[in-house]
Amino acid sequence: MTKPLVVVGDSLLDIDLDGTAHRLAPDAPVPVLDDLVESARPGGAALAALMAARDGRDVVLLTAVADDAAGERLLGLLGSQVQVVGLPADGTTPVKKRIRAEGRPVVRLDSGGVTGRVADRPELVARALAGPGAVLVSDYGRGLTAVPSLMAELTAAIRRVPVVWDPHPRGADPVPGARLVTPNAAEAASLCEGVAPSSSPGGLGAHAAQADALVARWRAQAVVVTLGDRGALLSYGSGVPVVVPAPAVPCLDPCGAGDRFAASAAGALADGRVTAEAVQRAVADAAAYVAAGGPASVTGSTGVGDAADGPVGAAGVAADVSARGGVVVATGGCFDLLHAGHVATLRGARRLGDCLVVCLNSDASVRRLKGPGRPVVPAADRVRVLEALECVDAVLVFDEDTPVEALRRLRPRIWVKGGDYAGAEVPEASVLGEWGGQTVALPYLEGRSTTRLVEAAATRAPEPAREHEEVAR
């Protein structure tokens, strides 16, 4: 039985009020918002817990719960997806309300709070932390990490399982020995005032110096400073830091990206990944979350991922481009041993619209189509190679023999096939017709073929005996 991910921290209720703004008020230079639409979602630790649950994990959320309408609404948004262990709290549930015009924030209104008034219930804390696969502490500085029994249980848990700590300047210091602490750049700078090379304030040198200092201060195993669209910098306290660049994605609303990062890192560590691998996964997932619309991908959605064995966000990228009136182009294939012919087709496809999504056959799908010796390159690596191409905006892995169902999710305006399909009837064409899309063929570069590459490699490979003789000489 899989052990749950336990998320410990302060939960909030996030509310967006979205409207249209076409005029200013007559009595003040402020926009008048019409046609307001309200949407609500969990925030803080509750958001991290929900996203981890939608990754397919069993999740326990240990949090402070106030007895009010906002708290009841917050618990209702989590539903049965997350097991909530609530510590009674005085005060009111923190509510963060954003007023937005055309999707852009105009003002934020914060209310409520239970700082310093969380009841200590040792039996509840011990039950929540009885047997986790990993622990994520999502500290928003609202009092939960001041509970004595909680800190004692976390100190004990840190010797058994990975603990990821997402800190806050007003919160508690991480328990010594945390596997990974995840401040953002502003938090790291405020915690390490004056610790930065004077030649590079805000540069990688400054972030590295601050991360090294925080590893020592917190006695953590590692600290990763998240850098927004620049990725993240990972330090083990000395030596050369690891920098994980973020993929370039459209960013409409980054709210919650830090929670997505922390939840992914904790989940990866629970799966047995080493710290650097966990940070890589977290950077990719946070970027995909932002590309999928950020909070919009959580509100009223069943998840933020497109495929378990590939990067997430392809459907979100396509939806965003379509919403802005752009042309979504998609193409598909195995892309095993990527060659110049593939690149030419992908570049040509991208020039037909405003984004290109590649529908990629899974390993099982490739074996059914190509035989037991294929693919040569597994899906995870094929995804990485495709995403590295500037002309590819997103990749969606599908397991069926044809990409028909994947296309129904993406709803591209244009579906591109290789030149050998010119004039042929293909099943995707009728599917594209459901929403007025068009299937087209692009010419291949002559003589380029993955099958020929595989056969040539097999023909040219040295015989094992001769190879041994050459080594012996």
Task: Note down pLDDT in tens along the chain; length 473 residues.
Answer: 579 999 999 999 999 998 888 888 899 888 898 888 888 999 999 999 999 999 889 999 999 988 899 999 999 999 889 999 999 988 889 999 999 887 788 899 998 875 557 889 999 999 999 989 999 999 988 888 889 999 999 999 999 999 999 999 888 999 999 999 999 999 999 988 766 554 455 688 899 999 999 999 999 999 999 999 999 999 999 899 999 999 877 777 889 999 999 999 999 999 999 999 999 999 999 998 888 788 887 864 333 334 333 334 688 788 888 888 899 999 999 998 888 888 989 999 999 999 999 999 999 999 998 888 888 888 888 888 998 898 999 999 998 888 999 999 899 999 998 765 555 678 888 899 999 999 988 876 555 555 555 555 556 555 554 443 333 33
User: Residues 280, 383: one domain?
Assistant: no
User: Residues 253, 364: one domain?
Assistant: no
CATH, residue 206: 3.40.1190.20
Stated pTM of the model: 0.67
User: Residues 204, 353: one domain?
Assistant: no
Task: Give me the active site residues, please.
Answer: 259
User: Residues 274, 364: one domain?
Assistant: no
pLDDT at position 306 is 40
Residue 114 lies inside a defined structural domain of this protein:
yes
pLDDT at position 138 is 95
Residue 469 lies inside a defined structural domain of this protein:
no
pLDDT at position 112 is 83
User: Residues 278, 249: one domain?
Assistant: yes
Residue 440 lies inside a defined structural domain of this protein:
yes
Number of domains in the chain: 2
Tell me if residue 12 falls in helix, strand or coil: strand
Where are the alpha helices (H) located in 28-141, listed in sequence order?
Answer: 45-54, 69-78, 122-128
Pairing of strands 438-442, 414-418: parallel
pLDDT at position 301 is 35
Q: Is the distance from CB of 98 to CB of 44 less than 8 angstroms?
A: no
Secondary structure of 165-224 in HEC code, one letter for each residue:
EECCCCCCCCCCCCCEECCEHHHHHHHCCCCCCCCCCCCHHHHHHHHHHHHHHHCCCCEE
Question: Which residue segment(s) compose the domain that 378 sits in?
Answer: 314-456
User: Residues 292, 323: one domain?
Assistant: no
CATH, residue 359: 3.40.50.620
Residue 412 lies inside a defined structural domain of this protein:
yes
User: Residues 258, 382: one domain?
Assistant: no
Distances (CA, A) of 289 to 149, 285, 299, 318: 34, 6, 12, 13
